[in-house]
Amino acid sequence: MKNKLHSNSSIDYQRFGMNLEKIIRDRKMKFVDVACAIGTTRETVSNWVHGRKFPYLGYLMKISKYLDVSLDELVEGVVIDD
C-alpha cells in the first residue's frame, strides 16, 4: 500500500521522493544544501526522498521556491510551461 498524505489524498510519497531527488541531483546539489536552505535537517530531506515521510505545506513551499520548481512538478512530476 502506498503512503498517502491522508485517506482522501492522491499524493504518493514515493513519487514525491523520486521527483525531489531528481530535481536535487539535476541541480548538482546535496540533501544537506536543501535542508540548510529551508531550515530542516539532512535526515528529514532523506526521509522525504526515500518516501518515509512527507513534508508539511510550509516546507513544500520553501522547497518549491528554493529549487525554482512548481508544486505540481515537485509533487506530481508534472512540468508546467509558463
Model pLDDT, residue 11: 74
pLDDT at 7: 40
Is residue 1 one of the residues assigned to a domain?
Answer: no
Q: What is the CATH number of the domain that holds 58?
A: 1.10.260.40
Confidence of residue 80 (pLDDT cuts 50, 70, 90): low
Does residue 29 fall inside a structural domain? yes
Is 7 a domain residue? no
Residue 19 structural domain: 13-76
pLDDT in tens, 22-41: 999 999 999 999 999 999 99
Q: Would residue 69 count as lying in a domain? A: yes
Query: Could you count the other beta carbons within 10 Å of the beta carbon of residue 17?
Result: 21
* Of 37, 23, 46, residue with least CA distance to 66: 37
Looking at the 3D structure of the chain, how many domains does it have? 1
Q: What is the pLDDT of residue 40?
A: 98
Share above pLDDT 70 across residues of the chain, in percent, rounded to a whole number? 83
Please count the other Cβ atoms lying within 10 Å of the Cβ belonging to residue 49: 21
